[in-house]
Chain A
Amino acid sequence: AQRVTQPEKLLSVFKGAPVELKCNYSYSGSPELFWYVQYSRQRLQLLLRHISRESIKGFTADLNKGETSFHLKKPFAQEEDSAMYYCALYREYGNKLVFGAGTILRVKS
């Protein structure tokens, strides 16, 4: 079964510190993975997808098939990064996203 695991419910870091939000997945096929973000009082929105291999707002995520991971990283956290982050796996059958439980990132000044 397809599954996405985000082991940390809450991650608290100081401004300027590196951030790594963990995501592991289980999927028998070739995975398509995404990170979604929900800032306070804003709608859930796409942050980045692995096939684009892009950096958005300083965040990057590399797909590691050997470790079945898709961790989200940023070298220097900013206060405006505080939000809920969801890792998601695209499941072609049913055309849906399988979401992880989410990680709240709090960046302290």
Chain B
Amino acid sequence: ETGVTQTPRHLVMGMTNKKSLKCEQHLGHNAMYWYKQSAKKPLELMFVYSLEERVENNSVPSRFSPECPNSSHLFLHLHTLQPEDSALYLCASSPWTGLSYEQYFGPGTRLTVT
């Protein structure tokens, strides 16, 4: 599959579980992003990575831990989540700069915390 892919597409986890979300991009981009989309706040930027280095962390609780091992892969490690963390988690990628700047989004992982 081309573009930005995310796995799993759906995830149900208990508050004591540990799980990881995975994002992969095949576009040759060197910046990747995690967003949270919920009914309360439609689109919240969580993390920004450039060339595998975290450049922004928008005051996200430590129960969310990102990892970017290379420019094509991005993970979001989850542990001891709360029910209010239930949301759609979107991954995106982009070139770092340039006139053709555009963010390409994945389909999202629908997370339910029970």
Contacts and interface: CB of A to CB of B under 8 A. Distances in A.
Nearest to A86: B43
Interface of A: 32, 34, 43-46, 49, 51, 84, 86, 90, 92, 94-97, 99, 101-102
Contact of A96 (B56, B105, B107): B56
Interface of B: 4, 31, 33, 41-43, 45, 48, 50, 55-56, 90, 92, 94, 96-97, 99, 101-103, 105-108
Given A44-B90, A102-B42, A95 B96 contact: yes
Contacts of B90: 43-44
Contact of B97 (A43, A92, A102): A92
B31 A45 contact: no
Contacts of B105: 43-45
